[in-house]
Chains A and B, each alone.
Chain A
């Protein structure tokens, strides 16, 4: 059995699955249930200054559903904890004492004033928690009050607050980043510059889930009006993976510990975040859709995968796929692939043909000798992978890499086995000499 124990910023947890700061970690009752179910740690739902905020008592959540009502995307307009600070701190202290082997991180959001941070940090530290996470990410409600993502969108503020935290607290500091920004590397660099020990990302994405066309009202709405919420769930995972990888491979932040967040629903999703540089993952939507026991399936799957692959510790996987990500300019222009359709498993739906015909390169037949037959025309195929993407049968359309020296029927030229990228390409007006 692979060892799922994780050490992140010196904080130990029995597995890398933490519950993110969100509704599931709002109070002792929930968190105890989570630990009973097996979660490795929690980031306690963001605490703030008293008087505590007030939430709406109407729809706070909305979902993007598949036809079988499987939740694909999710959004929320819930604010930070709407309970008194002392209540939260007392519960955090009790839970940490009862569950010493689990990671207990406390998420904090107070105004961007040094005094506010100076005041709250010792109170939080006094609970015995393992670390703090700075909520610079929430895109709704608090951001209008100069907190949350409105801080996360200004690198200078991030650096400033991170520095205050490192000054007034001994605890490890994790800065939670908002994705509602043009380049995620800047806030990450600012966090590092401010002395933060790690970043966690992504927080939720600004979103309107839909419009009720009968009432012409956005949804979800509170009465006759709604407000944009924060988008999360499976649908945001690709965005989150990219942002995690951006930070992992940025020379200025490479090696900065990352807690990956965004659409982790399975062990597989978690392993992807870890492979792109995350030391732990944080989960919310999966728990809100299935309940806490989903962590057991995540742990089991990750453990089996690691056994199959020969990994004995999670840390061995961290960042393993980062070198595989590069800029477009570095892609090998001499690499040529062609799609191949396995005629034995093809079910003849013809979707590959019609999408290639209508929207791509007219590289797939519809008939052969007058009969329905789908086959790649290599002389037209640019290897774009569209057919692979739309084929409903796994492994039926695959990509074949042409060997060096083989004729590419489309260009009529031999495949050059040497690496050559755009920077040296003859068509590049600003090429550099090869």
Chain B
């Protein structure tokens, strides 16, 4: 991802300002408005306070969900926030972006009879929002200083959770991040309507308020600092570098105006002061099947694109975007086409005019082309077929596998002073909440190692 990449020069049918101010406001407001106090109380009362609650087991960070909901019901918001944030210091953002329908809410026992789980995500948001609105005395304080300093690379969910955990345990932390602002994907990689009102930065501010965490923005690993140097200068290093590279779509990608990485489009929109200044095509094709594809496609529609098509090479069930996300795309007027692989970017006068696709099918274990082809007209093509780790700065120091960092369950890498977590770690599910857990657990493991 390179959010600082310049916006391409607008071609005739890629335009900013397709809507009026009122429309932009309504398009980019909160996708799922928060519960009112009355709604939250009623919803909280639906929780059965299960024994050994399945929702808690399903939460990668193991939040004591029955307790935080009970505390909403009995008007103890601070206690509720404590239950959430002690297990997940980024519980506010996770409440917004977690695919709860496949995590806690899928496990809710209410599904059995009613097909309607307790709205755990919304309740979590209610508690954390109410707490952040009026935080009062610090929820967490730091243990006496250990005199140790840890370097954290990457100020995304994993890095921030790790930094917070280490700071609580009395270590000093220096966080290095390539971007201008901390937050990682929370700041640059999420659709705007998932986290309105600059929540990512407000959450980071709260997280840093514990003290002992020094963030150095615009400091990239491999460019401004080296991993070798960090291991020499600090007592331990945590790598939460995420997946900063964008996968190629596997066909020639001519330098055509209108062809962009979806992550750059999403980042530009997140950082835009005024949505009316973000250009979008009239006809947009998004290639990919994940959350990034959905975020890019839906936001293209919201910016005023007439036709937005997600093209995915396999069937609906294989898409990594959750069912909820896929429904959200369709609700917003995005056409999702399956079983088609990109063949050619069609361009004229240096700008994209369309894409040619080959129809695909599954034959045994193989995805094969059927020989049929079709073409979609497009002013803008957004590539969203996945991200990969930028390995060069790490390769000599830690063992990699499939382009990601090998760790044990607690985040220890092959290097005695280096831990890692988040999307850059082998075997993850690329979930914010899982990255938080990685950072949290690694902080404990690092503390144990540093205390040994």
Contacts and interface: CB of A to CB of B under 8 A. Distances in A.
Interface of A: 66-69, 345, 347-351, 353-354, 366, 372, 392-393
Nearest to A66: B45
B51 A351 contact: yes
A347 B109 contact: yes
6 contacts: A67-B42, A67-B73, A68-B42, A68-B45, A348-B54, A392-B48
A393 B113 contact: yes
B109 A349 contact: yes
B244 to A, nearest CB: 41
B44 interface: yes
B48 A349 contact: yes
B45 A67 contact: yes
A354 B53 CA distance: 11
Contact of B112 (A67, A348, A366): A348
3 shortest interchain CB distances as A-B pairs: A350-B51, A67-B45, A354-B51
B133 interface: no
B52 interface: yes
A99 to B, nearest CB: 40
Interface-centre pick from B42, B51, B52, B54 (highest chain A CB count, 10 A): B51
Contacts of B374: none
B110 interface: yes
Contacts of A69: 38
A393 B109 CA distance: 11
Given A67-B73, A347-B113, A372 B45 contact: no
B52 A350 contact: yes
B49 interface: yes
B347 to A, nearest CB: 57
Given A348-B54, A349-B109, A372-B54, A68 B48 contact: no
B52 A366 contact: yes
Given A348-B109, A348-B112, A366 B51 contact: yes
A349 B50 contact: yes
B41 A350 contact: no
Nearest to A367: B52
A348 B53 CA distance: 9
Contacts of B50: 348-351
**Dominant secondary structure at the A interface:** loop
A72 to B, nearest CB: 13
A67 B113 contact: no
B51 A349 contact: yes
B420 to A, nearest CB: 32
Interface string B30-57: 0000000010011011001111111000
Interface-centre pick from A69, A349, A353 (highest chain B CB count, 10 A): A349
A347 B110 contact: yes
Contacts of B48: 349, 351, 392
B44 A67 contact: yes
Interface of B: 38, 41-42, 44-45, 48-54, 73, 109-110, 112-113
A348 B48 CA distance: 11
B52 A372 contact: yes
B105 to A, nearest CB: 14
Contact of B41 (A68, A347, A354): A68
Contacts of B44: 67
Contacts of B51: 349-351, 353-354, 366
Contacts of B54: 348, 372
Given A349-B48, A350-B51, 8 more contacts: A67-B42, A68-B41, A349-B109, A350-B50, A350-B52, A351-B49, A354-B51, A354-B52
A345 B54 CA distance: 17
Interface-centre pick from A345, A348, A353, A354 (highest chain B CB count, 10 A): A348
Nearest to B52: A350
A67 B38 CA distance: 9
B45 to A, nearest CB: 4
Contacts of A351: 48-51
A308 to B, nearest CB: 26
Contacts of A353: 51
Interface-centre pick from A66, A67, A350, A372 (highest chain B CB count, 10 A): A67
A345 B112 CA distance: 8
A69 B39 CA distance: 11
A353 B49 CA distance: 12
Given A67-B73, A353-B51, A392-B48, A347 B112 contact: yes
A68 B50 CA distance: 20
Contacts of A393: 113
B82 to A, nearest CB: 20
Interface-centre pick from B41, B50, B112 (highest chain A CB count, 10 A): B50
A387 to B, nearest CB: 12
A350 B49 CA distance: 9
A353 B53 CA distance: 12
Interface-centre pick from B45, B54, B109 (highest chain A CB count, 10 A): B109
A252 B167 CA distance: 76
Contacts of B109: 347-349
Contacts of B113: 345, 347, 393
A345 B114 CA distance: 12
A202 B54 CA distance: 45
Nearest to B73: A67
Nearest to A350: B51
A180 to B, nearest CB: 30
A67 B52 contact: no
Nearest to A348: B109
A423 B112 CA distance: 47
A63 to B, nearest CB: 15
Contacts of A347: 109-110, 112-113
Contacts of B45: 66-68
A366 B112 CA distance: 18
A351 to B, nearest CB: 6
B441 to A, nearest CB: 24
A210 to B, nearest CB: 13
Contacts of B52: 350, 354, 366, 372
B35 to A, nearest CB: 13
Nearest to A396: B113
A299 to B, nearest CB: 30
A372 B54 CA distance: 9
A345 B53 CA distance: 18
B64 to A, nearest CB: 14
A350 B54 CA distance: 10
Contacts of B42: 67-68
Contacts of A349: 48, 50-51, 109
B10 to A, nearest CB: 53
Contacts of A66: 45
A48 to B, nearest CB: 42
Contacts of A68: 41-42, 45
A67 B41 contact: yes
A351 B113 CA distance: 16
A204 B110 CA distance: 38
B393 to A, nearest CB: 44
A414 B42 CA distance: 48
B36 to A, nearest CB: 13
A67 B109 CA distance: 20
A345 B38 CA distance: 31
B13 to A, nearest CB: 53
Contacts of A345: 113
A233 B136 CA distance: 39
A354 B48 CA distance: 12
A353 B51 CA distance: 8
B117 to A, nearest CB: 11
A71 B49 CA distance: 23
A374 to B, nearest CB: 9
Nearest to B46: A67
A348 B112 CA distance: 9
